[in-house]
Each structure stands twice: as C-alpha cells, then as structure tokens.
Amino acid sequence: MKKKVSLKDIAQKVGVSIALVSYVLNNKKQGRISEEISKKIRDTAQKLNYRPNQIAKSLKTNKTNTIGLVVADIANPFSSTIARIIEDEAEKNNYTVIVGSSDEKEERSKRIINVMLDRQVDGIIFAPAANDQPLIEYLQKSKVPFVLIDRYFPGLKVNYVAVNNTEASFTGVEHLVMAGCRRIGFIGFKTTLSHLQDRKKGYQSALKKNGITVSKSWIKEVPIDTSAEEVKEAIKALLALPEPIDALFFASNKVSTLGLKYINRLGLKVPNDLKILSFDQSDATDLFYATLTHIRQPLDEMGKVAVQTLVELMTRPKKITQIHLPAKLVIGQSTGVNTIEQPV
C-alpha cells in the first residue's frame, strides 16, 4: 500500500518547514507569507495529490454531515427499500448515509455501531436486534443522537419511529374473518422483538373479538433467520391438522415470500383452497398469480420521519419522540373478497 502524502512530504519537496505548509494549506497567517512561496506550496500539494485530512478537521468542527444507518439484514427488501428512502431523504438535508447490517445479532450490532461512532457520524438510525437493550443504553451514553426504526423496546425512553403493528394485524385478520375464514393459521417469528410480538397479539385479539377460540396448533413460529425448509414444515403441519386451516396469515415478507413459493409448488389454489394475508409485501409477492391481500407498511413515511426526527435532534435537544405510524390494509385477490376499483 502506498503511503498517503503528508504535510512533511510537501515541506521536503518545497524546502520549507512543515508549519509553513500547514499555514498555507489552512489559510492561516495570510499576508505574512510571500505569494511566491504560497503558490509553490499549493502547486506542490496539488501535484502530489495531497488530501487534507477531513477527519482531523471534523474533530475540530465536530460535524461530519454523515448519518449511520444500521438495518437488520440489508438483503431483506424491507431493509434495503427503507435504506434507499433514508438515503434520499438524508440527501435533501445535506447528509450522506453509511449503512451496515446487524444480521439480527447483538455482537454484530455492537461492532457496526462502534464503527459508526468511530467514524464520527452526526447521528444514527438503528433497527435494533432482539436483546439489544444494553447496546441502546451504550448509545445513549455516547451522546450521539439516534432514532430507532421499525423496532422498539417498551419501557426504554428513546426516540423511535415504528408501525402500529397490533392494530394493523387486527384489521387484517378481521378482514379474513369477514371473508368467512374460521381456522386461521399464523406463521411468525420466534423472537422477543416487540414489533413481531405485536403482530401475534393483533391476530389473537381479532379472533377473540370475533368469538373464535385460537387453537395453539394454528400458531407456528420459525427462527428469525428462517430457512425455506422451516417455513415449508410449518405450512405442512397447518395443512395436516385434523381440521386444516382455511386461511393463513404470514407475519412478515420473508415468511410470505418463502411460504408462497411452497404453496406454488404444492399447486394449492389461492384463494379457493386457502386464503392468504401477508404483513408487508415486496416485488416478490407482487408477482404471485393472485394479487396479495397485505398490510402495507408506510415505508416512505417511516424513513422520512426517522431522518427528520434525527435532524431535529442533531440541531437541538428535544423531548423523546415515539411515533407509531398507521399501516394500511390492501385487499387483493388472495382473500377471495371481490374488490371494487375505487376511483382515484
């Protein structure tokens, strides 16, 4: 690796002191240094491709105009779409975003957060992994402003922007009940993350409210880094029940993408053989032969509000902001209810 050009290199080349080079390149002591020497130093710096050390500079100004974004898994369309929205919104505010993934692991969360703190980001937007509370407390102590996104920890007094998961699931599952479903299966994640727990709660209370006793055998929970095989086994088990399910609620886009692939392979006809509801969607679920009834998360708003909240925090300390945005139920063919095109 070639060494970076330093002030010393320029000083040696021109035959002056390092201090003099520093004065000229930092526009100090102007008028006290001859024009000729100044020009020679500047020309040499350019010729040698000297790169002023922005980090050393930012140590003084305490501002780097960068935002760190930590997502769960950049390969998940939810994360990558929201990353793109945050990049665009940050750009409007004159910030550049650097992104990293936690892979739902505390250790990796901590490493990427540290990299961002070390890189002196002005603020952080963070989708924490399960059990990341200690890391959030660590962030609080770092004094760097941060906003959680998508996930939150009830009880922790930190800024976050999330979705109304319980209400959204409730509405979606109630729609299934209205569509005539009585045995509604649920495939979600086995996790303590409250936004995912809330989706299960919404499912359970919608059934309860409609006089349906939830059977434990209807609820399947796969690991958060689930494989296609685990989702397949969950669906198989739900279909093999003495009284098989008549509808299925996929509690995340990852589960629905994997689940629909298997349902395609099985040759099951949606919505006739099985009605489907999905929390979140993606290009993938868009290409399923039956358009998918799904809970659409307000990704655009979530990303924008997160950036705006962070920018406000960076300019002046504020009270804690905790925002739950409403999600929308989008009715497609997969729940078998005829939809009427609404004029826009």
* Binding region for its own copies (CB under 8 A): 1-5, 49, 51, 53-56, 58-59, 62, 64, 66, 68, 73-77, 79-81, 83-84, 87, 91, 96-101, 103, 108, 111-112, 115-120, 141-143, 145, 257, 260-261, 264, 282-289, 313-317
Nearer to its own copies, 115 or 212 (CB): 115
Nearest CA among 200, 202, 191 for reference residue 218 = 200
Nearer to its own copies, 27 or 49 (CB): 49
Total residue count of the chain as it appears in this document: 344
Tell me how far, at minimum, the Cβ of 2 lies from its own copies, in Å: 4
Please give the backbone phi and psi of residue 189, each rounded to the nearest 5 degrees, phi first.
Answer: -105, 145
Nearest CA among 258, 234, 248, 244 for reference residue 173 = 248
Which distant-in-sequence residues (6+ apart) come within 8 Å of 108 by Cβ? 101, 102, 129
Nearest CA among 86, 66, 98, 146 for reference residue 313 = 146
Tell me how far, at minimum, the Cβ of 288 lies from its own copies, in Å: 5
Please give the backbone phi and psi of residue 278, each rounded to the nearest 5 degrees, phi first.
Answer: -130, 140
Tell me how far, at minimum, the Cβ of 66 lies from its own copies, in Å: 6
Query: 301's torsion region: left (phi>0), alpha (psi -120 to 50) or beta?
Result: alpha
Nearer to its own copies, 132 or 198 (CB): 132
Nearer to its own copies, 111 or 236 (CB): 111
Nearer to its own copies, 53 or 210 (CB): 53
